[in-house]
Amino acid sequence: MLGDRPVRRIGFGAMQLAGPGVFGPPRDRDAALAVLRRAVELGVDHIDTSQYYGPDVTNDLIREALHPYPDGLRLVTKVGARRDDQGAWLPALRPEELRAGVEANLRSLGVERMDLVNLRLLEGDGGPDVPLAEQLGALEDLRREGKLELIGISSVSRAQAEEALELVDIAGVQNGYSILDRTSEDVLELTRERDIAFVPFFPLGSAFTGGPAKLAADPIIARVAAKHDATPSQIALAWLLHRDERILLIPGTTSVAHLEENLAAAGVNLDADDVADLEGVTPVGNPLEGVSHDA
C-alpha cells in the first residue's frame, strides 16, 4: 500500500535513465522512452523519479513517454537535494528550497499534484542545520495546498524515522537495502511495526559499485538462481519480496530486456530451503559509502 491505495509490488526507478552520474541526457533517448512505455504496458503502476535526476532529464522523459498519464499510475518523487553545473549533489533542505523542489517536479512532470514526495536526508551532507520539523512542516503545508498527496522520508536512521512519524503522517520509508546491504534492517523493522511501506533503493546493490556483478559472484545466490532457472538479480529481488509484505521494489534499468527480467522476479517462489540458504549470504556493507549518489 502507498497510503490507502494498493500498488503492485515491483515498480520502476527512473534514476538510471539520465546520463552518467545521473547528470545530463541519456546515452540513448529512444531506448529510455521505450523502457518507460514498456514498463506501463507490463502493468507497472508506480514510478520513482526526481527533478534533480539530470536535472529535469528523467522527469522530461517520463512526461514525453507517458503523458497524459494512465489512470492508476502513481508518480513518486523526492526533494532535499540539487545539482550544480558540474553535477555535484548539494543539499536543498530549507523550507523554501523544499517548496521549490516540489514545484519543479510538478512543472517538469506536467501534473498538478504529486502522489508521494519523499524528503531525502543524508548524514554528512554539509547543508544547513534545518530542524526536521521545519522540513516536514514545509511538505505538510504543500499537502494542505493540494500539491502532494503523501509524504515519505528517504535515507534516514531509525531515530530520524521515529521523529518523523511523530511529526506528520508518513506513508513510507525509502532507504538503501538489499541482500548485500542490510544496514537499514532496524528501519525495516520500524516500518513493520508502523505498517507502512518500505522501498529499498539499490535493491540489487549499488549501480555505482557493481551491485549486480557482486550478486552473480556470490555462490549461494548463484546456486539458488540455477535451481529456479533464474538470474541472480531475480533471486535478489525475490528475496526482498519474501522479506516483508510491505516492501515495494523500484529496480531501475535502461534496457527493456532487463526491465522484463526484473518484473519476472515476482514469479520466483522461494521455498524455505532457499530462504535459509540466502540468509547465509554475507552482506558487503553499505554500498553508499564513498559514493556521490541518490536513488
Q: What is the pLDDT of residues 139-167, one digit of tens each?
A: 999 999 999 999 999 999 999 999 999 99
Active-site pick, 52, 53, 69, 177: 53
Whether 275 is in a domain gets the answer no
Evaluate whether residue 90 is within a structural domain: yes
Please report whether residue 168 resides in a domain. Answer: yes
List of the chain residues with pLDDT < 70: 122-128, 207-210, 285-295
Task: Note the pLDDT of residue 20.
Answer: 95
Tell me whether residue 30 is in a domain.
yes
3-class state of residue 164 by DSSP: helix
Judge whether 69 counts as a catalytic residue: no
Domains: count for the chain: 1
Q: Which domain holds residue 174?
A: 12-209+240-254
293 domain residue, yes or no: no
The predicted pLDDT at position 287 comes to 45
Place of cell 513493520: 192
CATH value at residue 21 = 3.20.20.100
- Write out the E strands in the chain: 12-13, 46-48, 74-79, 81-83, 89-91, 114-120, 148-154, 172-176, 197-201
Interatomic CA distance for residues 67 and 56, integer angstroms: 15
Q: Answer whether residue 121 is part of any domain.
A: yes
pTM: 0.93
Tell me the residue type at 1.
M
Residue 224 lies inside a defined structural domain of this protein:
no
Q: How far apart are CA 19 and CA 133, in angstroms?
A: 34
Position 35 in a domain: yes
How far apart CA 12 and CA 221 sit, in angstroms, is: 23
Q: How far is CA 223 from the centre of its chain?
A: 28
